[in-house]
Structure 1
Amino acid sequence: MKIAICGGTGFIGQALCKRWVAEGHHVMIVTRKQPDSPAKNKSVQYVTWDDMKSSPQVFEGLDALVNLAGASLSQRWTVKGKESIRNSRQKTVSAVADLMHTLNQKPSVVIQASAMAIYGTSEDLTFDEQSPSRVMDFPSEVVSQWEDAADRIDVERVVKLRISVVLGNEGGAFPKMLLPYKLGIGGKIGSGQQWMSWIHIDDIVSLIDFCIQHPEISGPVNAASPHPVTNDQFGRTVAKVYHRPHWFPVPAFLLQRVLGELSLILLKGQRILPAKALEHGFKFQYAELHNALSELKNNTR
């Protein structure tokens, strides 16, 4: 297959590229600028966002496009920061939509990144793909607008991948979450009862590939393990697997004072289930948190 990955130099994008190159596919990585040195593997081709606009013909004949690009929510939510987050997502989705309108041979599927924030937060409710979106804070507002923009993408299938916390050693949130435990000061955050939906990096890579390979899948797809945990359960499992203490609670007011509105990401959560993936027969390699963390520990470089 010929597959383009927008945001292909990021955490998930690199893992996708590694898998697909190993399987013999041709991967186009869309990034802001060309790397200083050429790709070591001839199966990997780097193109820029400017190339997408000025030379769309290089994208003719794609089998699939995966758009993971967008500024991280993990930055200060100042007025400027919020605007940057909104604009980066709108801009990249619009670029993909414009590309699809230009191509003569469009890919049959676009996998568009989204996020679990679309459901809002709750300690009591459980969400699957049939649950309505709930705009109740900045993250849910951003993701709702993100998904609305994806409706402009004119291809046979658009999959809106609602991503939970991705666990891996090479990037994402997990190395930062693990650090307090390595330092011996791990503990629950706030009440510890807020839900944390998560997925192992290998499983999200497999799920993206699964969605491409199964033409009956479209629309929202929750990228999350079938076994979410509370913040306190997550911390206790980390402590057990890594043989570190779980004792030092971080009060909510302290996080709010230090991080401001950004503390919402840590103090609120969503319990989401991957109903659509399971319905279509997807098998999670790491469905249980203990197994996922054990694999990460055993494969730490």
Structure 2
Amino acid sequence: MNLKVAICGATGLIGRHLGAEIRSLGGTLVPIGRKDLQQGLHHLMGCLESVDVVVNLAGAPILGRWTPRRKQDILSSRIQTTRLLVVAINKMERAPSVFISSSAVGIYNNIDVHDEFSSQFANDFLSDVCQYWEQEAFKLDALRVRLAVFRFGVVLSSKNGALKHMLLPFRLGLGGVIGSGKQMFPWIHVTDVVNALVWAMRTPEVKGIYNAVSPQIVDNQTFAMTLGEVLNRPVVFSIPLWLLHLIFGEGAGILVEGQQVIPHRLLADGFRFSFPALEQALSNILKKSG
């Protein structure tokens, strides 16, 4: 892999795994940190000089209580970072050849089944964030730079993210289904995320929107029961919705609601999942975590 890849958000869950993969393939990694974004457009353009690919993974964590300040951080960390990167790339005489930007399946409503051609978006804060986020990415000069936008589901890894927080209570036999458990749980193994991003860098035909989720559609109850089976622990509890709303307020929406999403374009364009089935994915992750 003879590519020089700049990652904005290189210290996050996906960024750390992607950076390690780029190095293992012989590529060169250029981390773009918060200080680089704060030092102005000229400095950022210098950071991106001679870079082949820019991957934008930056954004404040979603999970938590959404105070007005927290909501502003969630929005601005995505909008302003994407805007800065796009303006810098558009102004460069020798621009990177590929820009890969992030979004989330939270853009969709929780009623319909969604592929990348769906326009049935939710009417809530998270969907608005995703729509504004993508609008900034699509201001890229598409005649000079190839753009791919990945709408991520829940990325499964034992190192960080949602699964890490679930493991202790489930290992203690205290894990449970959230509410009725009927809400959908769009998920993807972190290895498939990394492989999809590298595939997008290397495949000239890859452009536009892609749903980064597993082909296996499951609901929250199926996810919880499968995790319990892999850990050989009972799943007998149900976490009441009122408790989650009490703890997280409006932010509980990402736990109590879910989208039914399929990775139509990944499959149609030739990407092959290493972990398309949930039990296989969880077994692999938990084996590595010990």
What is the TM-score normalised by the length of structure 2?
A: 0.95
Equivalent residue, structure 2, for 1:127? 114
Partner of 2:249, secondary structure, is helix
Matched, 1:109 2:98: yes
Query: How many angstroms apart in 2 are the aligned matches of 1:267 and 1:58?
Result: 41
Partner of 1:196, secondary structure, is coil
CA contact (8 A) 2:177 2:221 kept: yes
Query: How many angstroms apart in 2 are the aligned matches of 1:126 and 1:118?
Result: 13
1:145-294 map, 5 Å: 145-155=132-142, 156-294=145-283
Query: How many angstroms apart in 2 are the aligned matches of 1:133 and 1:154?
Result: 27
CA contact (8 A) 1:181 1:239 kept: yes
- Structure 1 residues 106-115 or 151-160, which shifts more? 151-160
2:41 to 53, 68, 76: 53
1:9 to 8, 11, 19: 11
Query: How many angstroms apart in 2 are the aligned matches of 1:238 and 1:288?
Result: 12
- Structure 1 residues 80-89 or 269-278, which shifts more? 80-89
1:22-41 map, 5 Å: 22-33=24-35
Query: How many angstroms apart in 1 are the aligned matches of 2:47 and 2:66?
Result: 37
Query: How many angstroms apart in 2 are the aligned matches of 1:264 and 1:30?
Result: 31
Q: Which amino acid aligns with 2:97?
A: S
Query: How many angstroms apart in 1 are the aligned matches of 2:225 and 2:178?
Result: 12
Q: Are residues 209 and 142 of structure 1, via their aligned partners in 2, closer, same or farther at CA, if it must alter by over 3 Å?
A: same
Q: Are residues 247 and 259 of structure 1, via their aligned partners in 2, closer, same or farther at CA, if it must alter by over 3 Å?
A: same
Q: Any stretches of 5+ residues in structure 2 without a counterpart?
A: none
Query: How many angstroms apart in 1 are the aligned matches of 2:97 and 2:120?
Result: 26
Instruction: State percent identity of aligned pairs.
Output: 37
Structure 1 segments (4+ residues) deviating >3 Å: none
Query: How many angstroms apart in 2 are the aligned matches of 1:31 and 1:204?
Result: 21
Q: Are residues 28 and 187 of structure 1, via their aligned partners in 2, closer, same or farther at CA, if it must alter by over 3 Å?
A: same
Query: How many angstroms apart in 1 are the aligned matches of 2:285 and 2:38?
Result: 37
CA contact (8 A) 1:62 1:105 kept: no
CA contact (8 A) 2:32 2:47 kept: no
Query: How many angstroms apart in 2 are the aligned matches of 1:272 and 1:58?
Result: 36
Query: How many angstroms apart in 1 are the aligned matches of 2:79 and 2:117?
Result: 24
CA contact (8 A) 2:7 2:57 kept: yes
Matched residues, number: 285
Following superposition, the deviation at residue 10 of structure 1 comes to 0.9
Query: How many angstroms apart in 2 are the aligned matches of 1:240 and 1:218?
Result: 38
Q: Which amino acid aligns with 2:160?
A: G
1:93 to 79, 82, 107: 82
Query: How many angstroms apart in 1 are the aligned matches of 2:241 and 2:38?
Result: 43
Q: Which amino acid aligns with 1:128?
A: D
Q: Any stretches of 5+ residues in structure 1 without a counterpart?
A: 34-47
Following superposition, the deviation at residue 100 of structure 1 comes to 0.7
Following superposition, the deviation at residue 263 of structure 1 comes to 1.1
Partner of 2:5, secondary structure, is strand
Q: Are residues 52 and 240 of structure 1, via their aligned partners in 2, closer, same or farther at CA, if it must alter by over 3 Å?
A: farther
Q: Which amino acid aligns with 2:19?
A: C
Query: How many angstroms apart in 2 are the aligned matches of 1:81 and 1:20?
Result: 32
CA contact (8 A) 2:64 2:248 kept: no
Instruction: Provide, for residues 267-293 of structure 1, a one-character-per-residue CA deviation record: whole Å limited to 9, x for no partner.
Output: 100011100000011110000000000
- Structure 1 residues 226-235 or 146-155, which shifts more? 146-155
Q: Which amino acid aligns with 2:34?
A: R
Matched, 1:19 2:17: no
Q: Are residues 80 and 234 of structure 1, via their aligned partners in 2, closer, same or farther at CA, if it must alter by over 3 Å?
A: same
CA contact (8 A) 2:48 2:96 kept: no
Partner of 2:225, secondary structure, is helix
